Structure 1
Amino acid sequence: MTYVVGYGPHESDGGAIELACQLARAIPERVVAVSVVPQSWGTPAAAGTDREFRQWAGGVGAESAERAAGDLAAHPEVDGTAVWVHGRSVPQTLIEEAAARDARMLVVGSGSDARAGGIRLTSKTDRLMHSSTVPVAIAPRDYRSTSAVSRVTVAFRDDDASWSLLSRVAEIAQRASARLRVVTFLMSPTRRPVTSDVTHAETQVIDLWAGQAAQAQSEAKATLRSLGFDDDDLELQIAGGADWAAAVGSIEWDAGDVLVLGSSSSHRLAQVFLGSSASKIIRHAPVPVIIVPGSSVG
């Protein structure tokens, strides 16, 4: 198996390769950096122009692969290689490369407009998240790490998809010799004085959600203990806040952390826990994020 890295022809940030090599140190596999360059049109009437275009694209691809190889050379302990390929669609070509190379994971970087240490999804990354059948790992802008993956944080909600994700992430954490942290993200708007029935009802709903989250965490702890986890390698936490930035920022994040999110769900509390709000969690995550499709196995 491999880690396939999407490496842009004009890449100025080696964060994706840094993350892929960090993952490869945790669960060893070959790292393949793939640069996708535009494909020619193949129109006979434009044979001369097409030939020139292919030569230009080939030069861009070779230069990009050379830069990627230089980034990989900084990690001699990792088996890595860099290639370039033609493709009309970058996301589709990376998905095809992942299938052809038996990828464990696709690894990409953040958009160039992301702040240093932050994640910004691009249109290409967004398509990968919705189309890839293997997990997609996203590196923060300018990501650098010399540490191993020491802790895997999984976003957990009490539905079938989340339980399936939990069991798979638990196996990955054990294989990587990393601690596992189970976090339920819970929106809890700032409480106001009880001056109306509506405000009182809001307070009751928040308390109900918190109670359900605590019960689900207790059940998750029991399940993980049955899988061999103990207090030294297991953490459980409810991360609450008035908004997603506050909730994500309410817990400690360290070097060696990665955050795992599952695909969206139709669960009735999906908006509260994760579901369609995954992009909001990603936007505020200060560590690499791995998006796992519902039927994927890591």
Structure 2
Amino acid sequence: MIGAHVIVGYTNDAGGRDALTLGDAITRVTGGELTIATIYPPGSPGLAVEAQANLAHAAEELGPVAAEYITFESRGSGRGLSVLASRIRADLIVVGSADGGQPGRIAIGATSDHLLHLSSEAVMLAPAGYRPPADPARLTLAYVHRPQCDEAVGQVAQAALRLGVPLRLITLDLRTDDQGRLRDDLALAVRLAWETTGIEAESEVAEGHDVAAAMEDVEWLEGELLVCAASEDAQPHRVFLGELAMKVLRAAACPVTVLPRGFS
């Protein structure tokens, strides 16, 4: 299960604080290590000092929580987080929503865009203004009948089992596919979850004329976490989200985790 070592990409703004809060909440649940990182560009001594000051703010925000604080030099914050995560063997990168996004939703900035197309670790994004509850409520997997999602069914089912929360599989019906086939695919995925872990997963077809409408069609619990598998276009052991999945992420009212291709 991801969360054995969480790295938070911290910036001294609302998105950075949301990511910090979410990363802390994840490690409280998993018992994993927590690293807080600020990335700064090379050849910028002033920004290196500012990065250290940012981490001091983060330490004040977290209080007595056990964490490691690291500044890291890189030409891009997304690339820097991914490289650093590999070096310290973190298995989850947590970042916040970009400035200017809708409250309660995820806005993609340069850092998250890089991670969602090249990260070798799982990536979790916090909606703007998100404040996690004390305990997780449910794991939901956005399911499409393809190998990457079939692999994710077993992985997310195992995570739900360990966390002691329900598992839900949802498929979007944008009125362009045969709903009977979609429901048959979901039934096979539910069976796969049962065969893998013994969990009886819930299943739901979300209907709408577009992704945003379909996502509004389903209930989202406080403490929900949405999981997406990487696209078939992803390189092995890399995250890559296609156009439809990016729309799902932007419409989500809860944190979203994206698994790399071949995640285990």
Corresponding position of 2:237: none
2:95 to 104, 108, 133: 108
Question: Which deviations, in whole Å up to 9, do the C-alpha atoms of 1:265-296 show, x marking residues without a partner?
Answer: 37xxxxxxx95301111111000011111112
Give, in whole Å, the separation in 2 of the partners of 1:295 and 1:227: 17
Query: Equivalent of 2:105, from 87, 101, 118?
Result: 118
Aligned counterparts of 1:161 and 1:116: Cα–Cα separation in 2: 31
Going from structure 1 to structure 2, the CA distance change for 1:237 and 1:37 (only over 3 Å counts) comes to same
Q: Which residue of 1 aligns with 2:37?
A: 34
Separation in structure 2 between the aligned mates of residue 261 and residue 4 of structure 1, nearest angstrom:
19
CA shift, 1:32, in A, is 0.7
**Which residue of the partner structure matches residue 48 of structure 2?**
58
| Closer/same/farther in 2, CA of residues 226 and 32 from structure 1, 3 Å limit | same
Give the structure 2 partner of residue 67 of structure 1. Answer: 57
In structure 2, the residue matched to 1:194 is none
Equivalence for 1:199: none
Q: Which residue of 1 aligns with 2:244?
A: 277
AA of the residue aligned to 2:26: L
Tell me which of 4, 8, 22 is aligned to 1:5: 8
Name which one, 1 or 2, has greater alpha-carbon Rg. Answer: 1
Counterpart position of 1:15: 18
CA distance in 2, matches of 1:85, 1:265: 31
Q: How far did residue 166 of structure 1 move?
A: 1.0
Asked whether the equivalents of residues 2 and 104 of structure 1 are also in contact (C-alpha less than 8 Å), the reply is yes
Tell me how far apart the structure 1 counterparts of residues 182 and 242 of structure 2 sit (CA, whole Å): 15
Aligned to 2:238: none
Cα-Cα RMSD: 1.8
Q: Deviations over 1:240-281 (max 9, x none)?
A: 111111100111111110100111237xxxxxxx95301111
Size of the alignment, in residue pairs?
Answer: 253
Residue 253 (structure 1) aligned with residue 256 (structure 2)? no
Relative to the length of structure 2, the TM-score reads: 0.90
**1:146: which partner in 2?**
133
**Matched-pair contact (CA < 8 Å) for 1:3–1:29:** yes
Q: Are residues 1:160 and 2:147 paired?
A: yes
Give unmatched runs, 5+ long, in structure 2.
234-240
Aligned counterpart, 1:291:
258
The one-letter code of the counterpart of 1:63 is A
Corresponding residue SS for 2:14: coil
Inter-partner Cα distance in structure 2 for 1:228 and 1:127: 34
Distance, in Å, in 2 between the alignment partners of 1:102 and 1:265 is: 25
Q: Which amino acid aligns with 1:4?
A: I
Does residue 213 (structure 1) correspond to residue 182 (structure 2)? The answer is: yes
TM-score normalized with structure 1 length = 0.80
For residue 124 of structure 2, the aligned residue among 122, 137, 145 is 137
- 1:47-67 per-position Cα deviation (integer Å, ceiling 9, x unaligned): xxxxxx41x223201110011
Cα distance change of structure 1 residues 91 and 228 upon mapping to structure 2, 3 Å threshold: closer
Residue 99 of structure 2 aligns to a residue in which SS? coil
* SS at structure 1 position matched to 2:94: strand
